[in-house]
Structure 1
Amino acid sequence: MTTPRDTSGSRRTRANGDGTVYQRKDRRWEAAGYVLTPGNTRRRVRVYGNSRTEALVKLTEKIAASNRGVPAVTAQGSLSAFLTYWLENVAVHHLRETTHTRYIAVVEQYLIPGLGRKKLTKLTAKDVRTWLNQLRTTCQCCTRHLDAARDEPRCCVAGQCCFKLLSPLTLTYIHSVLKSALEHAVREEEIPRNVARNVRTGTPRPRRFEPLTTDEARRLLTTAQDHRLHTLFELALHTGLRKGELLGLRWEDLDLDAGTVAIRRTLQRTSAGGLTTLPTKTRASERRIALPTRCIQSLKRHHEQQQREREAAGTAWQHNGHVFTTAQGGPIDPTNLTRAFTTLLGKAGLRHIRFHDLRHSTATLLLEQGVELVVIKELLGHAHIGVTATVYAHVRLRLQRDAIDLLDRALDHP
């Protein structure tokens, strides 16, 4: 009996359904077999590798997924079919739920309507560039027929286009979702290269924020003294914690004797689970920070207040261990916290800012007090100090100017 050898042109006998594996003239190995594709049909697919084993492993993975009922998207299919497959079978396992929800919205609202009919293999950089340019200059009310859901049309249906254009940041995000999807198609060897990477969208300007000045911060805290969530606003301004991190805090995370708090989780509203506690945004976001004495005292008083609310609620109390809760012990919806913050700003006579700008206010005020950038980076939980330096570059420039002016005066007047 002749034993097959791994030489050029040699083939091995395999069972029905296992596919074929052979070496090509270019010395690479090719494996081919039939798998399930969208539409409940079967199609022959080919995969490649530098060795027989590598090609065979790739084909076996595709056939195994097919046997589980997961359709394989072939290069002959449309971009729409591939994006649907990628969201349902790949991205869902590697992204946070909130991020996956945003990806679904981008795919359904922009990618599929704009590029979905294109064949995956025939998509070009020119196609992507042309589509992005159209997005950049097209009113989204007209394109997405938003007037149809309004009681009173105020755009195309009314004959007056409002020219609601996408921001550069949104365009960059849409482009990044397409690049991520096509990158996976390259890894699965459905396409030879990621054409979206050859398209430049430019670097968008960082989002402008309006941090509070020292006087405004004092006024906000003074006005919040009688607010039920006074401790939360005080903690936000003194530590720069994100909204979700504040709402996700549990008493077990606090060590009031040592004056520290461990940031381990964040509270967010998801489409599937409602208000859900999730891991922190990044590994760097999981951190332990020191608490100022003022916040420690406020947290102790807040704990006493929560105990009184628990006694008043009786059996209706929802025990979940959160530091900041509703009057019945349930988690606070981030949207409701935003509403309460907006009301507080109006009561204090302050300009409108986002809740997230409290975080920027903390960093700005610390920089102005001469605190090192690396300390602020650790406090805010940024992954890299470059992020901190970029976001607060304007503050550092102003401090440099003050320092240079101070030196200039010292040299002029010894």
Structure 2
Amino acid sequence: MTTPRDTPASRRVRANGDGTVYQRKDNRWEAAGYVLAPGNTRKRIRVYGTTRKEALSKLTEKIAASNRGLPAPSARGSLAAYLTYWLENGAVHHLRENTHTRYTAVTRLYLIPGLGKKKLTKLTAKDVRTWLNQLRTTCQCCTRGLDTARDQPLCCAAGNCCSKRLSPLTLTYLHSVLKSALEHAVREEEIPRNVARNVRTGTPRPRRFEPLTAEEAREFLAAASGHRLQPLFELALHTGLRKGELLGLRWEDLDLAGGTASIRRTLQRTSTGGLTTLPTKTRASERRIALPTRCVQSLKLHREQQQREREAAGTTCQHSRHVFTTTQGSPIDPTNLTRTFTTLLRNAGLRRIRFHDVRHSTATLLLEQGVELVVIKELLGHAHIAVTATVYAHVRLRLQRDAIDLLGNAFDGPANDGSTHDDDGDDPPPCGATVH
């Protein structure tokens, strides 16, 4: 008599609704079952794996999602339908809110109008390349009807095209969003391959930034002297912290006695949650940095000033644990910080730059002082040193040129000082100049 334990794994009876699983002739395992489909219907899907456990796990995951009311996308449907499904059921759980908002805008403005009618399974690399070329060469005022929506047409509707085209950086971003969506479809085995990966968009030039020089940095700090946020701007210039990291700092993150700060979180404004504290941008961004003595002293004075402001505010004080707050104790909105920064630049008579360029200023000045690239990478919280090397390649090139010029000066120096030496092998050969 055969018992259930003796029954081969591929032939065991499964409960009703759990689907079936069996081994194929190519030694792969196939699992099939019914899940919820668009239109409140049900369809049979098939998933595959190298082992029975892997195939069964994939099927169980899809059935569980179906039981939660999430319809499985149809590969026979349009790309627009899949993009909507991906944003609502996939990307929303893995992206930050602001990133998800940007992805949604890109999908609505560019992906769906350009490729949305294509069938997901019939999308080709040629379709993607044609779409990108059209975006690269057509005026966006014409394509999106921006000019017709103006009170007084200035472009196509007026017969005078402004030729406003998307930048290479924007095109690369659109391409990356499409690749992410199709990669999700590949993982869910809706399509066999990601055709967007076969399209090359080229490497766009990095966004140019204008860091402060050492003299400009001194002028800015002089203009910020006496301001209630002076410690924040000093900390930004000395450490290169991001705006969100500065505003997300809490007093428990600082060790003023030891002169260190732990970067654990960032403060951002989201469309649904308002000012929200989130984890750092990447795992590498979570780091511990040393604080200059000047910043330690400023932070100690700032803590005393903050305590006086809380006492003056009385019951209206919000008692936030953040290091940098408003006079009422609430976190500082990033937009308000940018306004204050711009005002200080204007008061100092300096050119207008982005707040993020302060971070670039720190890295540039450190490189020019001869600080090792790996030290700057750790200070800035870059995930890989290649990121640091790429962003500041122009600075490294200038330093290389200075070093080569210094070596050239050594070669151009006199071979000797005019005195004679006995070449008996005991004395070292004359040196024209010392190379540092």
TM range (shorter): over 0.9
Map 1:65-214 onto structure 2 (within 5 A).
65-147=65-147, 150=150, 152-214=152-214
Q: Equivalent residue of 2:225, what SS?
A: helix
Which amino acid is 1:333 matched to?
D
Between stretches 404-413 and 253-262, larger displacement belongs to 404-413
CA distance in 1, matches of 2:74, 2:12: 25
Is 1:271 paired with 2:286?
A: no
Map 1:271-350 onto structure 2 (within 5 A).
271-350=271-350
Contact kept? 1:36, 1:72, Cα under 8 Å = yes
Between stretches 302-311 and 249-258, larger displacement belongs to 302-311
Q: Equivalent residue of 1:135, what SS?
A: helix
Aligned match of 1:33: 33
Which amino acid is 1:285 matched to?
S
Between stretches 138-147 and 15-24, larger displacement belongs to 15-24
CA distance in 2, matches of 1:246, 1:152: 43
TM-score by length of 1: 0.93
CA distance in 2, matches of 1:57, 1:213: 57
Q: Equivalent residue of 1:136, what SS?
A: helix
Aligned match of 1:369: 369
CA distance in 2, matches of 1:317, 1:149: 46
CA distance in 1, matches of 2:80, 2:152: 33
Which amino acid is 2:61 matched to?
E
CA distance in 1, matches of 2:341, 2:148: 33
Between stretches 290-299 and 120-129, larger displacement belongs to 290-299
Deviation, 1:377, is: 0.9
Q: Equivalent residue of 1:146, what SS?
A: coil
CA distance in 1, matches of 2:250, 2:167: 37
Aligned match of 1:397: 397
Q: Deviations over 1:319-338 (max 9, x none)?
A: 11111111211111111111
User: Identity percentage over the alignment?
Assistant: 83
Which of structures 1 and 2 has the bigger CA Rg?
A: 2
Aligned match of 2:416: none
When residues 253 and 22 of structure 1 are mapped into structure 2, their CA distance, relative to the original with a 3 A threshold, is closer
Deviation, 1:96, is: 2.3
Which amino acid is 2:78 matched to?
S
CA distance in 2, matches of 1:55, 1:255: 51
Structure 1: stretches of 5+ with no match in the other structure: none
CA distance in 1, matches of 2:264, 2:54: 40
CA distance in 2, matches of 1:81, 1:278: 31
Which amino acid is 1:85 matched to?
Y
Aligned match of 1:61: 61
TM-align CA RMSD: 2.2
Contact kept? 1:12, 1:21, Cα under 8 Å = no
CA distance in 2, matches of 1:162, 1:245: 39
Which amino acid is 1:377 matched to?
K
When residues 259 and 55 of structure 1 are mapped into structure 2, their CA distance, relative to the original with a 3 A threshold, is closer
Aligned match of 1:18: 18
Which amino acid is 2:181 matched to?
A
Deviation, 1:54, is: 3.4
Deviation, 1:228, is: 2.5
CA distance in 1, matches of 2:164, 2:332: 33
When residues 240 and 82 of structure 1 are mapped into structure 2, their CA distance, relative to the original with a 3 A threshold, is same
CA distance in 2, matches of 1:307, 1:140: 52
CA distance in 1, matches of 2:180, 2:42: 27
Which amino acid is 1:401 matched to?
R
Q: Equivalent residue of 1:43, what SS?
A: strand
Deviation, 1:158, is: 4.3
CA distance in 1, matches of 2:314, 2:73: 56
Structure 2: stretches of 5+ with no match in the other structure: 414-431
Q: Equivalent residue of 2:44, what SS?
A: strand
CA distance in 2, matches of 1:259, 1:54: 50
Contact kept? 1:12, 1:20, Cα under 8 Å = no
Contact kept? 1:33, 1:59, Cα under 8 Å = yes
Aligned match of 1:379: 379
Between stretches 158-167 and 178-187, larger displacement belongs to 158-167
Contact kept? 1:45, 1:74, Cα under 8 Å = no
When residues 150 and 409 of structure 1 are mapped into structure 2, their CA distance, relative to the original with a 3 A threshold, is same
Which amino acid is 2:56 matched to?
L
Q: Deviations over 1:67-86 (max 9, x none)?
A: 21111112112212212222
Aligned residue pairs total 412
Deviation, 1:46, is: 2.0
Which amino acid is 2:178 matched to?
L
When residues 239 and 74 of structure 1 are mapped into structure 2, their CA distance, relative to the original with a 3 A threshold, is same
Q: Deviations over 1:271-323 (max 9, x none)?
A: 22111011111111111111111111111221222122212211111111111
Contact kept? 1:19, 1:32, Cα under 8 Å = yes
When residues 53 and 389 of structure 1 are mapped into structure 2, their CA distance, relative to the original with a 3 A threshold, is closer
Is 1:240 paired with 2:240?
A: yes
Deviation, 1:372, is: 1.1
Between stretches 258-267 and 158-167, larger displacement belongs to 158-167
Q: Equivalent residue of 1:276, what SS?
A: strand
Which amino acid is 2:307 matched to?
Q
Q: Deviations over 1:340-399 (max 9, x none)?
A: 111211111111111100000001111111111111111111111111111111111111
Which amino acid is 1:30 matched to?
E
Aligned match of 1:216: 216
TM-score by length of 2: 0.89
Which amino acid is 1:230 matched to?
Q
